A and B are shown apart, each in its own frame.
Chain A
């Protein structure tokens, strides 16, 4: 799922000064799964924002809504009326949903209530960990199904750096396993350690965000 994390309330207060009627909108998919922008979080954030604006000397009227999906145009119509009444919208969906809202309700300022942070799984209750970096050049076929692009701090392609701690965790985060240690363990378990001894050439990043904004065109679907 796409994960997101609340922005500091002070940052949101900074956006909302001068506004009077604010609509806070959530999304019931990814950001609900990662407990940042689902109905529960929207209903928590809305009164918090109202209180923070009150304390800031800029009281606002806050309404809230949670859309089934903020990244699909058809679901945005549900807030048409509320959006028309608001003079600002705070979205706690991912950056994709936010931008669709900003486009559909282009006359109303849209502010982010969250930072979109990763493509992760929920590993345990309350713990999400990165799995994919959308690099556009998948290497899982060479790395025994474990991604060194998203899960190695240096996105190394040819094995672990010298920063693997004695306990097998990453130098830069005590709680993150060195993914190359796990790749080596899985290769060993399959009797295929030899596969990891081939030098992998430099990656082609042109199909990643580094290559410019993505435009995926499928002619077969455009008739």
Chain B
């Protein structure tokens, strides 16, 4: 497995990755609390952006309901913790299972009846809204008044209960993002990854070559939504409160996919790059215009950025930057370009 992942990735890319990782590992030593909170947010979007990218970028399935998967994962582990005292370290299994099952259900419905493209996207929005309304009316989990977690001290490192300082959440998210990156790299080089890209390119042609299109798409939504469910655990325990209105909001889904769109859909590193670029920019803008009383300035900025990217660089920024740094064609960029895996 390790050989497969390293195949075709020359030293230059590995060195670049190692440098970035070291910088991120060391970052909490050098930044203040506010900057750390921005970094936490950036990593959260890097991780969820990668999960989203797995569907659209690898398999060509446009989901606009990521918030459903994250929200379900959040409510599952938060509910277990709050109602039964089950620590999130165990609760996360339920989170991943519930989110993956929700993804599989939506996928089954869609692919069984050959719903693709924007229709699939509409279906994911619809289910996300169903879920929001359902949880909104579920008094047991707090309903629209929200679910609150006991906060017992914001210091320390209680990983088992995910109770601790922001630094702990930062490292948890850094580990998750790194793990997700490796998983994506592995999947892309696997047979499933080839099938996904074949389906993305031309579903009919893939089928004519004997690709089990239904099974491969099911794998994509299930893995991706399960991964998003894991992000929900961190979401719940970092914020300590959950509201259906925000957790399942369409804007939450949009926030998660923006980084990937800006970085480059279908690329391996694009979602990380996009989130690390966009989140601090958005926060800086909010901070800079704080005194001006301009509500919605961040959303406006996102809109402009996305419009500019879609018009000028529909493939995202990362392929261009990877090319300039000489990191393209090495598995950091589109794995498609060449690079052979050790199959």
Question: Do A and B interact?
Answer: no
A interface with B by C-beta (< 8 Å): none
B interface with A by C-beta (< 8 Å): none
